[in-house]
């Protein structure tokens, strides 16, 4: 009986350690994806590149174009946009990421760089991706 309790405690400890590591990796996934796919243009602080690449830091565009952001990440964009009153016209390449990665990336951007915007749900991102305009 005592041996069974020890086995159960050991298994519970192992499970807790494993789950904690999984959640920690997911928690940092948005930051990792930003560093991998976005930081080289939008900078480590989200400030963008003056006159060329729009900022993500305190960016009004993140609020006013919320529904378009998942499609922009996946398919990129070209043409003129206005961010915080400044016009930008530099093509942005898309990044082929799964919906859960896009969700984590967007949530990182929406809650960092001085942004305090509502977070996305995976279901919301999946629905928005289904309604993306056809690729160019």
pLDDT digits (tens, 9 = 90+) for 12-58: 555 554 444 444 456 699 999 999 999 999 999 999 998 899 999 99
Domain regions of the chain by residue span: 29-130
pTM: 0.79
Write down the pLDDT at residue 38.
Answer: 97
- The tokens describing 55, both together, are 């900022």
The CATH classification number of 29-130 equals: 1.10.760.10
Spatial separation of the C-alpha atoms in residues 109 and 42, rounded to whole Å = 11
- The tokens describing 28, both together, are 């940092």
Of the candidate ranges 15-19, 26-30, 78-82, 131-135, the one whose mean pLDDT is the lowest:
15-19
- The DSSP bridge pattern shows strands 81-83 and 86-88 to be antiparallel
Question: Which CB contacts under 8 angstroms, 24+ apart, belong to 131-134?
Answer: 131/71, 132/70, 132/71, 132/74, 132/75, 133/71, 133/75
């Amino acid at each position: 009986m005592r041996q069974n309790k020890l086995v159960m405690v050991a298994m519970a400890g192992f499970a807790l350690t494993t789950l904690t590591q999984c959640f920690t990796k997911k928690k940092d996934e948005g930051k990792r994806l930003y560093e991998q796919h976005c930081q080289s243009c939008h900078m480590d602080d989200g400030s963008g590149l003056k006159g060329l690449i729009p900022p993500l830091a305190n960016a009004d565009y993140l609020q006013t174009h919320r529904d378009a952001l998942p499609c922009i990440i996946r398919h990129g964009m070209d043409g003129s946009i206005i961010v915080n009153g400044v016009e930008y016209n530099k093509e942005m390449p898309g990044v082929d990421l799964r919906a859960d990665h896009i969700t984590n990336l967007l949530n990182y951007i929406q809650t960092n760089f001085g942004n305090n915007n509502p977070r996305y749900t995976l279901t919301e991102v999946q629905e928005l991706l289904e309604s993306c305009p056809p690729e160019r």
